[in-house]
Amino acid sequence: MSEAMACRKAFDLDLVACLLDAGRPEWMEFREHYPRCAECAAEVRTWTELQSSLAPPHPGPEELIRFESRANDLPPDARTAIGAHIATCRSCRDELRALRAFDPRSMAAGGEQAKPRRRWWRGMGRLVLHPAVAYGIALALAIPLLFDAVGGRVTDKMAAFRAGGAGERKKVKEEVLARQSSDRLQSAPAATLEAKPAPPGYEAEGYGAPSAPAAPPAAPAAARPSDTLALAKAAAAPERRREAMAGNQARRDGAPDDERPVVVLTPDREVVLQAPAQGLVLRLAPPRSQPAVPPGLAWLRVRDAAGRRELREQQFGSPGSSAEIRVPAGWLEPGSYRADILLGDDARPITVARFRIES
């Protein structure tokens, strides 16, 4: 039996006195103890509920305001009663203190500050600091050189791709993708360097686009060994971006996600998955301890272990239903991930689950 299970502290001290006035210095040790101890925490909650059911009603907000601003207008009995209550009630003292410090402008200003407000230059600050920008600049410089080497081949194929039927498109796509994978460590084909706008929907909500599809780097014909990892990632990036966009487009078009496997995550165990070919749908239930969250207020977020790449999806399901997010295959590199549910602007997730993608 663990030490916590055997703890008798809540039974050995005068818990009634402690809970009536836990702020006193003699209860400091127990105050620090009970949140960590299952036995004592349960006792404290039970006694708190009992004591709060016996406690006298608090003066109403109107009475508190009158007491604070025009105490002399109150009948003497009421004034004395409210004063006596406040002297022994910490929450009323707290309310009174807050009321005295209330600045009407702070609420209006605070609300405005907290409201997401997009400015075109706000994203620029983050962008300029991002290493991908360096890749992007190098890419812009390298395009003319690369075009001579591989661009011609690809543009010919792309022209055929546009002009041809579905069969031709498939063939060209397979050919290009096959060449991408074989050439990835030597050079990035021009087709993969095609600039695409970030998928809409992320930045508009103020959370930044999924960071996996970083701007591709310059790809010199003979890469140095130290550059190979960056090149490999960059070569795959536009592909991932296209998949992410396709996913978004499919959702906007109302296309079904039937082909994507649904993975139900739970906070108590890490799910291990093989890299899915079609991406996947992650599902995570809100904790039972949380009240139903109104639609539109919750977000399901997926982050990599380093916290550098993340996807978010706003949830519009019925209150209490599981949150879902569609994750494109290209975004899921082998590694560990964390999925969590966030509420509104609150940074603290209400539930967290983990999963791992194996190659």
Tell me the residue type at 142: A
Pick the stretch among 38-46, 124-132, 176-184, 255-263 that binds another protein (CB under 8 A). 38-46
Residue 50 contacts another protein per CB under 8 A: yes
Tell me the residue type at 280: L
CB of 107 to another protein, least distance (A): 6
Q: Which of residues 243-302 bind another protein (CB under 8 A)?
A: 287, 289-294, 296-297
Distance CA 243, CA 257 (A): 13
Binding mask 71-100 for another protein (x = CB under 8 A): -------------xx-xxxxxxxxx-xxx-
Distance CA 112, CA 168 (A): 54
Query: Residue 97 burial (CB < 10 Å; 0-12/13-18/19+)?
Result: exposed
Residue 114 contacts another protein per CB under 8 A: yes
Residue 334 contacts another protein per CB under 8 A: no
Q: Rank residues 30 and 161 by Cβ distance to another protein and give the closer one.
A: 30
Angle between helix 76-88 and 90-101 (nearest 10): 110
Residue 122 contacts another protein per CB under 8 A: no
CA-based nearest residue to 350, from 293, 306, 307? 293
CA-based nearest residue to 210, from 102, 40, 330? 330
11, 26, 38, 134: which one binds another protein (CB under 8 A): 38
CB of 123 to another protein, least distance (A): 19
Distance CA 54, CA 63 (A): 21
12, 23, 119, 129: which one binds another protein (CB under 8 A): 23
Q: Rank residues 185 and 297 by Cβ distance to another protein and give the closer one.
A: 297
9, 13, 22, 78: which one binds another protein (CB under 8 A): 22
- Please work out the total of residues on this chain that contact another protein, with binding judged by CB under 8 A: 81
Q: Rank residues 49 and 258 by Cβ distance to another protein and give the closer one.
A: 49
CB 285 within 8 A of CB 322: yes
User: Which pair of structure tokens corresponds to residue 173?
Assistant: 């796509």
